[in-house]
Amino acid sequence: MNLQDQSQQLIDDRDGFIELSYLMTQEFARLHRGQMSAGVFIFSVVKYLTDAHDCNN
């Protein structure tokens, strides 16, 4: 599963958010071994309203 599919799954399956974000972070670290500095990798889901009547979506 690629990063785009995993990102969509984070949105679609909120119950699996913690496990999937952990797996995505591990995969990122594996792919960038030796090229990334120590730090924090943050996943979040943000929902915003496009207008005042969009609160049900």
Q: What is the pLDDT of residues 39-55, one digit of tens each?
A: 667 778 777 777 767 66
- CA–CA gap between residue 10 and residue 8 (Å, rounded): 5
For residues 17 and 39, the model is more confident at: 17
* pLDDT tens by residue, 27-41: 887 877 776 666 667
Query: How many Cα atoms within 13 Å fall on the side-chain side of residue 23?
Result: 12
Residues 10-26, mean pLDDT to the nearest whole number: 86
Query: Taking every pair of C-alpha atoms in the chain, what is the biggest distance, in angstroms?
Result: 48
Assess contact for 31 and 15: CB atoms under 8 A. Answer: no
Q: What is the pLDDT, as a whole number, of residue 57?
A: 52
This prediction's pTM:
0.58
